[in-house]
Amino acid sequence: MLSQKRHGLLVGALIAVVCSSCCQAFAGSHNRWGPTMPNNLSKLKSSATDADTKDTANTVNGDDENKVTTADILSLDSIRSTLIRQEETIIFAIIERSQYRRNSIVYKSGGFGDMGTPFGSDPCPEGSDKNLSFLEYMLIGTEVLHCGVRRYTSPEEHAFFPERLSGANKALPTLDFPSDLLSNAGGASSINFNPILLKKYIENIVPMISNDGDDEQHGSTVLADITVLQALSRRVHYGKFVAESKYLSDPEGYQKLVDAGDAEGVMALLTNAVVEAKVLRRARMKAATYGREPLILPEIEGVDQSEDTGLVAAAAASAVVATIEAMKAHTEGKVDPAVIEALYKDFIIPLTKDIEVAYLFRRCGRDPPPEYAPDRMSIEFL
């Protein structure tokens, strides 16, 4: 028998899980290029009045319900929905990397000697590839393959070594994206902060998420590294979509700050502290949930765990345990939730906002200040 206190805790968690499921269950998880539409957009559109329906009867195919405009895609709700989904991608990728030791040799220039030129890549601008690290060799080769199948034609994808890539396979059709997703003014849409991302990943993030030492799993390590790097790159460069959306909501305000060279003012205007706090709490909770084995409840009198009720009760109990664990300063598991929260607080969010500032300056016709260059962070990541 469960004690009354534990039973109450379990019931409370069960109610929370069921209520949450009613609101969010089976949310779309399709991988798409570009920000994703909020799940309730089609419902909102379908609630239009009969008069509205008649007014739009002459739209393409006579059906406006499924029409998605650039304004829809660039809405902050749409972008935030995409960013929330990316949290799982990042956390699971970090969990995969954390199972290996640090394996520092894979990041060392020439650590495995002269590995030659990655297959299919353009020649090295410096004239030689003999000092490539194992990670660089694998990352360039991966990007060559992905470039060939059009990955980097997407406005949300950014290569770490664009100078080594030739282009997409000509046998594949060209992918068309809305031309007004991002602005090309001043080269704003082409901003790429992967140089500082790669540097900080090796110097700061890898020590945060892995134990010291070498387990000889070097190939698996760099493959896991590449998955993390690509997920982080996609996440921070979504700052350009956020910046464009915020600019469109107040173009005069941002133009005035940029004309005055007020980078701090731009940063203050685009910052939403309430949303950032929610991101940190959510990331920590997800890390606590995904970073531990599911709780298997003992037999409980009157509860048949082979039925839905038992499964939901077990899920609710696991959620309670994850919540408790997330509140601890440090916890055991596949990944420490405090580390994930710190990663978002000290790196992902600040770098995303640096990209937003750089984009907005270029969007408004000026070069960003030096501290917002793609080879550094405006706030040092310790």
Active site residues: 80, 235, 246, 272, 276, 352, 356
Alpha helices (runs of H) in the chain, residue ranges in sequence order: 4-24, 41-46, 50-55, 70-73, 76-98, 134-148, 194-200, 206-209, 218-237, 239-249, 251-259, 263-270, 273-290, 308-327, 337-343, 349-363
**Cβ(14)–Cβ(312) under 8 Å?**
yes
Residue 10 backbone zone (phi > 0: left; psi -120 to 50: alpha; other: beta): alpha
4: exposed, middle or buried (Cβ count in 10 Å: 0-12, 13-18, 19+): exposed
* CA-closest candidate to residue 315, choices 17, 9, 7, 4: 17
Q: Which residues of 240-265 are buried (b: 16+ CB within 10 A; e: fewer)?
A: bbbbbbbbeeeeeebbebbeeeebee
Amino acid at residue number 375: D
Using CA atoms, how far apart are residues 17 and 365, in angstroms rounded to an integer? 48
Using CA atoms, how far apart are residues 368 and 257, in angstroms rounded to an integer? 12
